[in-house]
Chain A
Amino acid sequence: AQKVTQAQTEISVVEKEDVTLDCVYETRDTTYYLFWYKQPPSGELVFLIRRNSFDEQNEISGRYSWNFQKSTSSFNFTITASQVVDSAVYFCALRSRTGANNLFFGTGTRLTVIP
């Protein structure tokens, strides 16, 4: 069974603070894919990053960075020097290699950046 847990329901930070959003996943597959999406107030989910299970390299894209650790089944997302525009709901998702093409989503973390 596939499962994604985002234990942080809501987080508030003051602008320019760093913030880490946690994601823990469960799967029995050896090949799988992990994703992060952002949902701003407009409602449309925006793809941020994907990772396959064989690529444990961390990635940095501007103020965003991702830490993938298979040993702890985690795929955490850090925003450095947060900005008001980062306020959104962030979803972590998992897809296995076999079976359906659908994504299993976590319940999301609502991030509020206070000016």
Chain B
Amino acid sequence: DVKVTQSSRYLVKRTGEKVFLECVQDMDHENMFWYRQDPGLGLRLIYFSYDVKMKEKGDIPEGYSVSREKKERFSLILESASTNQTSMYLCASSLAGEGSYNEQFFGPGTRLTVL
């Protein structure tokens, strides 16, 4: 079974703090993704990565950065957390391939609260 794990289920941080959200997958997937989920807005893509050290902006990258130093690990970084970044953050991974049919596998999510 594909396993995507996220470092924390719940996280509380203060405004201005630097926040790291970690995601690890164990199925050697090339692609990894970070989404945020907000009520009434569904899931929105923040960043994705299709290879080590490669990244692409998603729909809402402002205020975030990412790091992928190893294939299995994809980190989301909030350089200076703000209250509007309070949200549920979901990591996903999938096999690669142009036009790939491959589904994404999701982690359990991290609910981040910024005070």
Contact B40 A107 (CB under 8 A): yes
Of B56, B103, B105, B109, which contacts A43 at CB under 8 A? B109
Question: Counting CB contacts under 8 A, is B12 at the interface?
Answer: no
Residue B115, interface by CB 8 Å:
no
In Å, the complex CA distance between A100 and B90 comes to: 18
Asked whether A43 lies within 8 Å of B43 as measured between CB atoms, the reply is no
Known: A33-B101, A98-B99. 20 other contacts (CB 8 A): A43-B9, A43-B108, A43-B111, A44-B109, A45-B90, A47-B103, A47-B104, A50-B103, A52-B101, A91-B42, A100-B58, A101-B31, A101-B33, A101-B50, A102-B45, A102-B48, A102-B58, A103-B43, A107-B40, A107-B41
Using CB atoms and an 8 Å cutoff, list the residues of chain A in contact with chain B.
Answer: 4, 6, 9, 31, 33, 35, 37, 42-47, 50, 52, 91, 93, 97-98, 100-103, 105-108
**B positions within 8 Å CB-CB of A:** 9, 31, 33, 35, 40-45, 48, 50, 56, 58, 88, 90, 92, 94, 96, 98-101, 103-109, 111
